[in-house]
Structures are given as C-alpha cells and as structure tokens.
Amino acid sequence: MKKDPIETLNLVAQTIFDKKGFNIMALDVKGISSITDYVIVAEGNVDRHVIALSKAIQEALHETGEKPVFVEGAANGDWVVLDYMQLIIHLFMPGLRDKYQLEKLFPQSEIVDLDIVVNHLESNVS
C-alpha cells in the first residue's frame, strides 16, 4: 500500500458497507503476522454478493493504483481472499465466517477503528 494504510482500510470498509456487506472488522496484526500488517474480515449475504463485494473492492483500490498480488475464491464466492501484501481482505458467506473464526487467529491484535460514513450514498443523491 503506497498511501496511508488507515485511509486504505477506510476505503475498503466504506466500499463493503456501500455494497451492503456487513460485520466489517479490521485488525492491526503488525508484529503478530509475518505475512501482512492488516486484516479485514467481512460478510456478504450469498456467494454472488461476496463475489460482487470482491470486484467492488478491487475496482476501488485499482483507482488508487493498488492491484492485488493474489485473489482466491472468486470463482465460487463462499470465501474470497484478496491479498494486497500489507492488507489481506477476507470476504465470507455468513456460515463460513463463523466456522473458521479468523479473528481468533490473532488474539493479540488490535481492532482498527474504521471511519465508515453511514449516510454516504444518501448524502450524494440530490
């Protein structure tokens, strides 16, 4: 991530929220994980929704010059992983998130306070 990582986390979280994703959580895993600095976990309603969230995130980050190093799961959509090196995004269907409980892999991590504008789309409509 070339720009401020918190700005990127907020952009991803806002994109997920705007596309009706839910249960968005970002973890600061610097010094805990050897593969990334931040992890975002979120959910979509069904597989097609998870795939759509994945595409929306990739488009939003592409506009800032970021491209994923690796994308996994976009074909079936039950669990999609977007790897941006310092940021890894996990998008789940609800049952799978409960099953794998990725948040518990990093018990020493800190939850990042995300800045999501709830009326973001409504305020842009005139």
E runs forming strands in 1-126: 22-28, 38-43, 70-72, 79-83, 87-92, 110-111
Radius of gyration (Cα) for the chain, nearest Å? 14
* H helix runs in 19-46, sequence order: none
**Spatial distance between the Cα atoms of 97 and 50, rounded to a whole number of angstroms:** 12
Full-model pTM:
0.91
**Spatial distance between the Cα atoms of 75 and 79, rounded to a whole number of angstroms:** 10
Decide if pLDDT at 71 tops 90: yes
Domain spanning 5-113, CATH class? alpha beta
pLDDT score recorded for residue 118: 87
Over residues 13-42, the mean pLDDT reads 97
Over residues 94-107, the mean pLDDT reads 92
How does DSSP classify residue 78?
S
CB-based contacts of 1, cutoff 8 Å, min separation 6: 8, 66, 84, 85, 86, 87
Decide if pLDDT at 126 tops 50: no
pLDDT band with cut points at 50, 70 and 90 for residue 1: low
Kindly list the domain boundaries of the chain, sorted by start residue.
5-113
